[in-house]
Structure 1
Amino acid sequence: MQPPRPASAARPLVLGSTSVYRRELLSRLRLPFTVEPPHVDETPHAGEAPAELARRLAAAKAAAVAARHPGAVVIGSDQVADLDGEPLGKPGNHANAVSQLRRMSGRTVIFQTALAVLCLDSGFAQHDLAPVRVRFRTLDDAEIEAYLRAEQPYDCAGSAKSEGLGIALLEAIESDDPTALVGLPLIRTCRMLRAAGLPVF
């Protein structure tokens, strides 16, 4: 039986993301990591389904950063709100957020959160999808306006932060990986990191 590998021998961990939400989520695991922007074009392809868009972008982000850090274990993730097969991206501004929330009012939206973990030197590569079904309450314009003025979630797919006041917009959330809706499915992340040789404990 071989002795435990010293911590210094562990591969570095890199989060390929510009998201403050993913950075905060990954920090909950108490693993040392660095953050690097992946610089990936997130434009959907013509006719691309939301789940496939999320998968492609998560893989592309991980690959872009792994190419610069081949010895590291790299995490890439992406989330696309799926309304009846149509991808809804980050609203970017108030008017777009109003439009998104009006469309989602009283509807069920699937937040497709994709995850990719790569290490080029070891040949490790795993990908997964953590869909989250979110049922929105029927919202009136006054509620939408009050919420957006309070939280300004213009950098969030679907125009709402479930971890904040946005929870008041919802009727139900169905998921097997609770942090997936915020942007990084930590149960799946832990499983992949263990498989890549970076146990959390």
Structure 2
Amino acid sequence: MQLASRDSAVRPLVLGSTSAYRRELLSRLRLEFTVEPPHVDETPRAGESPEALARRLAAAKAAAVARMHPSSVVIGSDQVADLEGEPLGKPGNHANAVAQLLKMSGRTVVFQTAVTVMCQDTGFAQHDLAPVRVRFRTLAREEIEAYLRAEQPYDCAGSAKSEGLGIALLEAIDSDDPTALVGLPLIRTCRMLRAAGLRVF
């Protein structure tokens, strides 16, 4: 685990993401930052676990943006829904979302949210994972259809938009970093930014 040099306190902050959810979460810290799409292939590798996939993509996103902004502190993050070892990503469309939610009905899903903070110039890099255990209610097909019509969460891992109406699909959430379920674990991110030399306040 590396600590940043003192001059990193004045370094720009870049969020390597196309996610509006992560942008909103990071803005809660009231830090100045810019956003840069990472353009990373998110295809899972053969036999890759959901946890390993989330970790790899978070690191890849941060590294891709760090190459474009070598003097900046860069945040990369990724989330994969883990259904007993089966990765569930963003559904992309209605049919896939229905299939995901039917599969998760009455079961516990671990949302694996990984985050990487790095700065190419200083060689700083830290990685962490915030697993969130979510227990879904037993869902009727008509409930799923009504939820999807209302929220259209086709860009959310596992189709579960917990910050919106998706919370009504759930029985319980277990996490030590609550914003991880939305897409960026802010407790861990704050700790890593401090290690990189950026003061949150």
Normalising by the residue count of structure 1, what TM-score does the alignment of the two structures yield?
A: 0.96
Amino acid at match of 2:127: H
1:20 corresponding residue in structure 2: 20
The answer to whether 1:160 aligns with 2:176 is no
Alignment of 1:96-111 (within 5 A): 96-111=96-111
Alpha-carbon offset, residue 160 of structure 1: 1.4
Partner residue in 1 for 2:35: 35
* Partner residue, 2:83: 83
Post-superposition shift, 1:101?
0.3
Match of 1:62 in 2: 62
Matched, 1:124 2:124: yes
1:158 aligns to what SS in structure 2?
helix
CA RMSD of superposed structures (Å): 1.3
| Matched residue, 1:112 | 112
Cα distance between partner residues in 2 of 1:93 and 1:120: 37
- The one-letter amino acid paired with 1:91 is P
Residue 184 of structure 1 aligns to a residue whose secondary structure is coil
Give the distance between the partners of 2:199 and 2:174, measured in 1 at CA. Answer: 27
Q: Using the alignment, how far apart are the partners of 2:120 and 2:38 within structure 1? A: 16
Task: After TM superposition, give the deviation of residue 6 of structure 1 in Å.
Answer: 10
The equivalent residue for 2:3 is none
Name structure 2 gaps, 5 residues minimum: 1-5
In 1, Cα distance between equivalents of 2:68 and 2:99: 39
2:200 maps to 200
Correspondence 1:159-198 to 2 at 5 A: 159-198=159-198
Task: Using the TM superposition, give the Cα deviation of residue 123 of structure 1 relative to its aligned residue in structure 2, in angstroms.
Answer: 1.1
The runs of 4+ residues in structure 1 deviating greater than 3 Å are none
- The one-letter amino acid paired with 1:27 is S
State the number of aligned residues: 196
- What is the distance in 2 between the residues matched to 1:183 and 1:22? 6
Shift of 1:155: 0.3
The one-letter code sitting in structure 1 at the alignment partner of 2:126 is: Q
Q: Please give the alpha-carbon distance, in whole angstroms, between the structure 1 residues aligned to 2:87 and 2:101.
A: 14
- The separation in 1 between residues aligned to 2:164 and 2:146, in whole angstroms, is 14
